[in-house]
Structure 1
Amino acid sequence: MAKMKELVELENKILSHEAYGASYKWSPRDFELGSALGQGKFGHVHVAREKKTGLLVAIKTLFKSQIVRSKCERQVMREIEIQSHLKHPNILRLLTWFHDERRIYLVVEFAAGGELYKHLTNAPHGRFPESKAAKYIYQVADAVEYCHQHHVIHRDIKPENILVDFHGNLKLADFGWSVHAPSERRKTMCGTLDYLPPEMIKREVYDVSVDHWCIGVLLYEFLVGKPPFESEGQDKTYERILALDMVYPEYVPPGAKDLISKLLRHSSKDRLSLDAVKKHFWVQQFHNKGTASG
């Protein structure tokens, strides 16, 4: 607990610039760059140490030329704007950002466990035991509920966009497709093929409940090791999603099946609320044992 408190204090120093003075301008010179953590669409991610406080962080470097070439300027600025305002234990924190002539640097908290997707593929049989799946789905539902309370729709929830911290808790990340939508009515088709909800495929106006659908797909993937509508080719996947054509392997527990079926509803109005996901009897039986953190 003491270490966690220390970490929060260091993060707050970086955010408030207390260690340097209020008008401090950040630059790459403030950080010792470590090993590469991965490759992003517009650059790369490295672990780094902030020199004055010693805080371990991750630095995402984006090349401006690539952003301009892809015509994604607005998308990148929107991602920064959204993520810098979200403060939740299960959402990756954007601590600060700065830029030079060629690059934009995003300084985010360091998630020592890496991508959740790698944990899933390395798990026995490529799937999580139900206790871990329940813990994780509680944390994702809590994070996404917080986003919705702040009028943010994530629109791309999947294992590749979730990180794991040092303590084994999840951090929702990659807000590249997210949108701040106070009216909560959108029409843009975006996200990942296997996770697209019916209303997006049909190009209908949609709201925050697209994320509820994604959480249902996510839970299925946690327990089975692949998404429920995965097929050869886009058209076949679309057909299966629209027909709700899915099969539960016999090892999927009845409680989890009940929860998934209440999220993967054709009509967005019929999908279970995120508060109800957290209170679902299957999630609660593990949450009450202390396997899920709130």
Structure 2
Amino acid sequence: MELNIKLMRYFFQRVYRNKLEWQYKGNVNFFFYNNQSIHSKKHMHIKTTLLSEGSSSFVFLTEDPNYVMKEFKSMYPVSMRQKEAQILEVLKSEHIVKLTTFTENYLILERLRPQDLFEVVKSQSLNHQFIKETCKTLIRIINTIHKMQVVHRDIKLENILIDNTGRLVLCDFGFSELLTNSTVKRTMGTLNYMPPELHQESLIGGMNSDNINTQILIKSDVFSLGVTVFQIIFGFQPFTSTKPGANCKLWKLIQQKKWTQYWTLIQKLSKLQIDPLTQNFLELFLQSDTSSRATLDEIYIHPFLNQVKDDVHLIF
């Protein structure tokens, strides 16, 4: 096997005379060349139309309709690219986007041709059953990756896909982190979803050195999930920012635990009557201090989610 790989690598270097990137990972052998395509044992992946652009990468359609190509921007650290691939290898699940191929500059991922939850939420009014089933499924997905020692760190509507069977799929693990890492920076995430603790200085320490810091990372995911769940229910953000000095009235009410005043304002904005059960459910996620914020195990059994089946495929 190793000899064949070396011979093939030499062949491509001599014939194409351009930069070649190669990595052996698991049972996947592949080569990258011509800055346009990735060739694996089973597929030639040729990028075509730009689908989206993020802070660290571009996502392209490929000629094969079953895959997309995630191309990292040159300034994005190689260590973070490798970590994303490593985490996707660990988190193999029908609810996690599937990685098929990895090189230093690219990921080849399964292509899901549905909508993301942002598009679903903004395009229509959602029925109560869909909302509750979505919330329960998301809680279970995030809780599962936490138990596998991974935090996502960028939970938001745009990073949750729903396919044409109603399956929820969590994607974009570019900011994700293994809880066993010894050093973790706090400033990852999307501003409107970030909890207040992520606006503080760098967080040092992982599971092996400091359990409190591990819990901070987990509770930060809980908060971002709460912002996501709030938007699924109401269709807008629960506040504009948690950043110090942002002067957001809604966030200040949460910080001061003035929940009655907070929900009065939300009712005016949403033009809905919000029952106490829904209020209490959301408050579990959105506490400003991590010690008061609930765990996902606690939230999962909240009465708001009663009579919702586990692992359903959603209909909206």
TM-score by length of 2: 0.69
What is residue 298 of structure 2 aligned with on the other side? Answer: 276
Aligned-partner Cα distance in 1 for 2:290–2:184: 13
Does residue 153 in structure 1 map to residue 151 in structure 2?
yes
Please list the CA deviations of residues 197-223 of structure 1 after superposition, one character each: whole Å capped at 9, or x if unmatched.
Answer: 232234475231111111221111111
1:59 to 62, 69, 85: 69
What is residue 105 of structure 1 aligned with on the other side? Answer: 106
Per the TM alignment, residue 232 of structure 1 is displaced from its structure 2 partner at its CA by 11
Aligned-partner Cα distance in 2 for 1:188–1:288: 33
Which consecutive unaligned segments of at least 5 residues does structure 2 have? 1-23, 33-37, 204-212
Q: How does 1:216-227 map to 2 (within 5 A)?
A: 216-227=226-237
In structure 2, do the counterparts of structure 1 residues 259 and 232 end up closer, same or farther at CA, with 3 Å as the change threshold?
A: closer
Does residue 48 in structure 1 map to residue 62 in structure 2?
yes
Per the TM alignment, residue 268 of structure 1 is displaced from its structure 2 partner at its CA by 1.8
In structure 2, do the counterparts of structure 1 residues 106 and 185 end up closer, same or farther at CA, with 3 Å as the change threshold?
A: closer
Per the TM alignment, residue 122 of structure 1 is displaced from its structure 2 partner at its CA by 1.0
Per the TM alignment, residue 231 of structure 1 is displaced from its structure 2 partner at its CA by 5.9
Per the TM alignment, residue 110 of structure 1 is displaced from its structure 2 partner at its CA by 1.6
What is residue 215 of structure 1 aligned with on the other side? Answer: 225
TM-score by length of 1: 0.74
Does residue 178 in structure 1 map to residue 189 in structure 2?
no
Per the TM alignment, residue 113 of structure 1 is displaced from its structure 2 partner at its CA by 0.8
What is residue 236 of structure 1 aligned with on the other side? Answer: 247
Give the SS at the match of 2:103: strand
What is residue 188 of structure 1 aligned with on the other side? Answer: 186
Pick 1 or 2: higher relative contact order, CA cutoff 8 A, min separation 6.
1
RMSD value over aligned CA atoms? 3.3
Aligned-partner Cα distance in 2 for 1:23–1:232: 43
Aligned-partner Cα distance in 2 for 1:251–1:287: 25
Per the TM alignment, residue 257 of structure 1 is displaced from its structure 2 partner at its CA by 2.0
What is residue 11 of structure 1 aligned with on the other side? Answer: none
Aligned-partner Cα distance in 2 for 1:184–1:143: 25
8 A Cα contact 1:224 1:252, kept in partner? no
Aligned-partner Cα distance in 1 for 2:275–2:310: 18
What is residue 10 of structure 1 aligned with on the other side? Answer: none
Q: Given residue 45 of structure 1, which amino acid in structure 2 is its aligned partner?
A: V
Percentage of matched positions with identical amino acids = 22
In structure 2, do the counterparts of structure 1 residues 39 and 290 end up closer, same or farther at CA, with 3 Å as the change threshold?
A: closer
8 A Cα contact 2:28 2:101, kept in partner? no
8 A Cα contact 1:45 1:58, kept in partner? yes
Aligned-partner Cα distance in 1 for 2:48–2:187: 37
In structure 2, do the counterparts of structure 1 residues 189 and 31 end up closer, same or farther at CA, with 3 Å as the change threshold?
A: closer
Aligned-partner Cα distance in 2 for 1:230–1:210: 17
Mark the structure with the bigger radius of gyration. Answer: 2
Per the TM alignment, residue 157 of structure 1 is displaced from its structure 2 partner at its CA by 0.7
Per the TM alignment, residue 105 of structure 1 is displaced from its structure 2 partner at its CA by 2.2
What is residue 200 of structure 1 aligned with on the other side? Answer: 198
Give the SS at the match of 2:308: helix
8 A Cα contact 2:187 2:199, kept in partner? yes
In structure 2, do the counterparts of structure 1 residues 289 and 158 end up closer, same or farther at CA, with 3 Å as the change threshold?
A: closer
Q: How does 1:258-269 map to 2 (within 5 A)?
A: 258-269=280-291
Please list the CA deviations of residues 222-275 of structure 1 after superposition, one character each: whole Å capped at 9, or x if unmatched.
Answer: 111122112699612495364456433234444332211122223323333223
